[in-house]
Amino acid sequence: MSAVPATEPASGYLSRLTAFVWLSLAQIVHAPSHSRRAKAGRHWARRSLALGAITAMVIIALMYELDAFEIGLMPPRGTAWLWPVRILTDFGKSNYVLWTLFAILIVLALLAPRLRGMSRSLLISFGTRIQYIFLAVMVSVLAGEIIKGFVGRGRPFVGGVANPFNFSHFAWSEAYASFPSGHATTSFALAFAVSSVWPRLRVAMLAYALVICATRLVLLAHHPSDVVAGALTGVIGAMAVRYWFAARHLAFTIRSDGTIDPLPGPAPSHLKRVAREAFAP
């Protein structure tokens, strides 16, 4: 498959770019068409309710039994030797993750009009998966921010003591934005989304999410129950977006029992070939 000649008029490229972006957005908002979407919806609802109920009990137990004790064990804020932890924790910052994914989507959109046939199809397939990951993180983060504002839980030592029951509901302030942890929400949404698309990365992505959560505790940014709540928010948010995509035959398929599996995607070797073709003069 050959790339579009570099001498092509800019108007032709722009028209195809516009059409590609429009179709990319349209595919995720069109009416669901999968015949098993209702069964998948019930399966997702049951799993979400069960996971939510179990995690809620864990969160309550942590608030009463562990939160105050754990933050009392952490080094004081501003401790000099924690600088590597401060760098590491930024890898779970929602702004960094979302802007990185958005930049990848922009690059893919700019490259797609230069390709034809199978190469273009492979790029679109990869782009659909990045769309899913981006939306899984974004939806989870937005949900987490709304919960933060309503709950209004104080961060560790806000008010001068290690009080896990320091609440100022509807405060909408950074000091009272501890529950759920935004970094935990972002990292677990990202870990679940990437693992859903590429199951072989599951262990690596889980390790990434756990490390990010640990940094939030060490830096006294959150209580243990905050990061557990953030993990729950991220997983359920990513599960909801996965169901949305599966119901439209995008990146996922629905089995007869309602479970959702990833569709086969382009192999790394194929993507390398597409990249060489797209950047060829």
d(CA 49, CA 141): 19
Say if CB 15 and CB 6 are below 8 A apart.
no
d(CA 39, CA 193): 21
| 112-159 pLDDT tens trace | 887 777 878 888 889 999 999 999 999 999 999 999 999 999 999 887
Fold of 34-279: Vanadium-containing Chloroperoxidase; domain 1 (1.20.144)
| 87-116 pLDDT tens trace | 999 999 999 999 999 999 999 888 888 777
Q: What does the pLDDT average to over 35-46?
A: 89
DSSP state of 169: T
What are the residue ranges spanned by the domains of the chain? 34-279
The reported pLDDT for the residue numbered 178 is 94
Say if CB 243 and CB 260 are below 8 A apart.
yes
| 158-197 pLDDT tens trace | 877 788 899 999 989 999 999 999 999 999 999 999 999 9
Q: Greater confidence, 195 or 34?
A: 195
The reported pLDDT for the residue numbered 17 is 82
d(CA 193, CA 50): 20
* DSSP E strand stretches across 184-250: none
The reported pLDDT for the residue numbered 124 is 85
pLDDT at 6 over 70: no
d(CA 259, CA 39): 8
Q: What does the pLDDT average to over 34-53?
A: 90
pLDDT at 280 over 80: no
How far does CA 68 lie from the centroid of its chain? 29
Give the confidence band of 278 by pLDDT, cuts at 50, 70, 90.
low
pTM to 2 decimals?
0.91
Q: What does the pLDDT average to over 57-86?
A: 92
The reported pLDDT for the residue numbered 167 is 93
Q: 253 pairs with which residues across the strands?
A: 261
What token pair was written down for 168? 């100022």
Say if CB 24 and CB 127 are below 8 A apart.
yes
The reported pLDDT for the residue numbered 7 is 53
pLDDT at 1 over 50: no
Least confident of 144-153, 249-258, 263-272: 263-272
